[in-house]
Amino acid sequence: MRSPKGLYLSFLFSACSLFLFVSCKKSEEGGATEKSKPVVIGYVGGFHGLLDVDNIEAKKLTHINYAFVDIKNGEAFLTNEKTDSTNFRKLNLLKQQNEDLKILISVGGWAWSENFSDAVLTDSSRKVFAKSSVDIIRKYNLDGVDIDWEYPALAGEEGNVFRPEDKQNYTLMFEEIRKELDVLEKDSGKSKLLTTAVAGWVEFLDATEMGKAQQYLDYVNLMTYDLFQGDTVVNHAPIYTTDVYQTQKSADAAVKAFVKAGVPVEKLVMGIPFYSRKFTVAGKLEKGLGQKQSAQEYFKGYTFIKDSLVNQKGYKAFRDDVAKVPYLVNETTKEIISYEDEESIKERCKYVLENKMGGVMFWEYDSDPKLYLLNAIDQGLK
């Protein structure tokens, strides 16, 4: 017979074994206790032509979103399939460097969102659009679909079609695409992703049903940049709401609003601009930020800014200590340049980690060919 002590130790061993078995089963079933690493989603511009994939650091990315796929006659459409197909092949080869890398097509964008509203207007048109989108990733062995509709039920580029029904049709579109992806998952035996890029301001939430739409989505990419304020010179991508001028817009404000609207914070991905915005002050230059501007434009990427303009050619570097972002001021030309640098990237990564967000995404890869910002992201999320 075993002693009482022996029986107790036997019981304890059995209990520990059972606990370990249950824990392993949970991990196998997707309930792993180890926290998922933040995603790093980079948009690459297929509209530039053939991609130079040699400069893409595959190991520092989790997802690549290929921009853009157009919409024609209610279907997702490759405007230059010969170039696109070559780019898809090259991007897929990057998986030799990072087997976990996911390649998605991004449909729409600022210039190609004009036909979304018509494409998803009815049950039958949504089925056609969803099938055509998924057919592209089926044909080229890609990993998912990203929707960049700018914007449902709101004006985007001049001439875009939009209507009140977009609010509900936006959700129904995701439902239909998810159904098609489920079929492809079953056929291929591989998981397929559905994501979306959304405006980083509160008005977008009034025009959509993000609390409902999110159930079909893996990630919601917040475009927390181009946060303009009428004709005011602004930080176009503030992390926190500044006190230099009147505004309600910031990455922090967007995250809080989307969570309040019902989007789980772990699905939210913070957008980072690798490009800059240049403003020209109207009248006498005083403080710059908060002044009235006479012109603004999409400007150079960070490699050019860092190597050629920071404290050079009349541009002096400043930092908004509340918004946590840098800007340049040129007293001679009365120009203000709002941009990202390594320090603001560090702050963004800190915010993502502390708030348990899904990760970060950036627009776009070619804006920083020396990879200053991607390297900062890689360090900041470790």
Instruction: Examine the pLDDT at 32 and tell me if it is beyond 50.
Output: no
Give the pLDDT score at 301: 98
Residue 230: which domain range?
34-274+341-380
pLDDT digits (tens, 9 = 90+) for 165-185: 999 999 999 999 999 999 999
Q: Is the residue at 137 inside a domain? A: yes
Give the pLDDT score at 9: 42
Q: Is the residue at 285 inside a domain? A: no
Q: Minimal CA–CA distance to 231: which of 243, 245, 241, 251?
A: 245
Burial class (CB in 10 A: 0-12, 13-18, 19+), 189: exposed
- pTM of the model as a whole: 0.91
Give the pLDDT score at 35: 53
Residue matched to tokens 């772990």: 266
User: What's the pLDDT band for 231 if we cut at 50, 70, 90?
Assistant: very high
Q: Minimal CA–CA distance to 359: which of 375, 326, 339, 382?
A: 382
297: left (phi over 0), alpha (psi -120 to 50) or beta: beta
pLDDT above 70 coverage of the chain, percent: 91
User: What's the pLDDT band for 36 if we cut at 50, 70, 90?
Assistant: confident
Instruction: Work out the average pLDDT over 349-361.
Output: 98
Instruction: Work out the average pLDDT over 199-206.
Output: 97
pLDDT digits (tens, 9 = 90+) for 73-107: 999 999 999 999 999 999 999 999 999 999 999 99
Q: Which CATH number covers residue 205?
A: 3.20.20.80
Q: Is the residue at 325 inside a domain? A: no
Give the pLDDT score at 222: 99
Q: How far is CA 211 from CA 141, 149, 217, 218, 223, in A?
A: 31, 17, 11, 13, 18
Q: Is the residue at 299 inside a domain? A: no
Q: Is the residue at 26 inside a domain? A: no
Give the pLDDT score at 262: 98
Q: Is the residue at 369 inside a domain? A: yes
Give the pLDDT score at 33: 32
Distance CA 23, CA 149 (A): 41
Residues marked active site are found at 150
Q: Is the residue at 332 inside a domain? A: no
* Domains: count for the chain: 1
Q: Is the residue at 8 inside a domain? A: no
Instruction: Examine the pLDDT at 46 and tell me if it is beyond 50.
Output: yes
